[in-house]
Amino acid sequence: MAELRGSAAAKEIQEQIIKRLEEYKNSGDYPGRVPRLGIVRVGKRQDDIAYENGAVKRIRSLGMEAEVFEYPEDISNERFLKEFKSVNDNKTIDGILLFSPLPASLDERKILDILNPEKDLDGLTLFNQARLYRGEECGFVPCTADAVIQILKHAGVELTGKNVAVVGRSPVIGKPVSMLLSCEDATVTMCHSKTKDLKDICRRADIVVAAVGRPRMIDEGYISEGCIVIDVGINVDPDGNICGDVDYDSVSTKASLITPVPGGVGSVTTTILASHLLDAAIKGAGR
């Protein structure tokens, strides 16, 4: 078994960002301009704040800017729409990270309909979802789903013709990662809580992507010898430890490659966000 850490893929993408950012600054198209991220957060969810801190640190360490727009949990729908519109229309902001789900009192669909698809770095808008569905590469896809593909590619895993079981069908991970893998010519089975014979499906797969949100659910009974296992999960176990959706200790005895948690997919996601921000700036999304 080899451990597939995210740091190597992240480092390669960061090197590309530094080079591309230099080209962007020297191009003369946008004199003095530095790509700027707007992070929109409602409330103080601990996991949102943890991701936000990591994202701000990563963006700044790569020479770009980030600004946080924080709103109280009880903000009215009308007020939030107005505030969000002003961030969206702000010409100094090239890309937006909107934490979702929003509180139930806010009309998330309406807010996503306002979000400029060219600033939608996490591929939440219908426009970007349609681009992914059509296999068009020009749109933004969710950063975590993109991170899964980049880790596999960086490790030199050939995806063409491979059988992949994706466990989870959420709009932010399971569905987009399934579409992206299909675009890479893999044969994808997208599984969910009503899937029958889940263990058999996973055991037949060359690659298992776990995005289920259940601590250590995928154990060695789901995995065949030599399988490649990508663990997207980030959970806190009853002892307060961070763990994935995969039971690392038992699965690592069978897998040929496995991502750890922490240190796997999660460690690439903020770098992908930075890369998407630069893409948006290069396309001139702010203007």
Judged by CB, which is closer to ligand NAP: 211, or 285? 211
Rule CB under 6 A: say whether 169 interacts with ligand NAP.
yes
280 HSE (CA, 13 A, CB side):
33
Rule CB under 6 A: say whether 168 interacts with ligand NAP.
yes
The residue number with the shortest CB distance to ligand NAP is 170
Cβ contacts of 282-286, under 8 Å, gap ≥ 24: 282/20, 282/24, 283/118, 284/29, 284/30, 285/94, 285/95, 285/116, 285/118, 285/119, 286/36, 286/90, 286/91, 286/92, 286/93, 286/94, 286/119
CB of 246 to ligand NAP, least distance (A): 10
Select from 234, 255, 257, 274 the one that contacts ligand NAP (CB under 6 A). Answer: 234
Rule CB under 6 A: say whether 150 interacts with ligand NAP.
no
Select from 170, 187, 189, 256 the one that contacts ligand NAP (CB under 6 A). Answer: 170
Binding segment toward ligand NAP, per CB under 6 A, in 32-40, 58-66, 111-119, 166-174: 166-174
Report the C-alpha gap between 263 and 260 in whole angstroms.
6
Amino acid occupying residue 135: G
Rule CB under 6 A: say whether 43 interacts with ligand NAP.
no
Binding segment toward ligand NAP, per CB under 6 A, in 54-62, 93-101, 126-134, 190-198: 190-198
- 117 upstream amide cis, omega within 30 of 0: no
Site for ligand NAP in 242-281 (CB under 6 A): 245, 265-266, 269
Site for ligand NAP in 74-133 (CB under 6 A): none
Report the C-alpha gap between 195 and 190 in whole angstroms.
9
Query: Residues 180, 203: contact at Cβ < 8 Å?
Result: no
Residues that bind ligand NAP (CB under 6 A): 144, 167-170, 172-174, 191-195, 198, 211-214, 232-235, 245, 265-266, 269
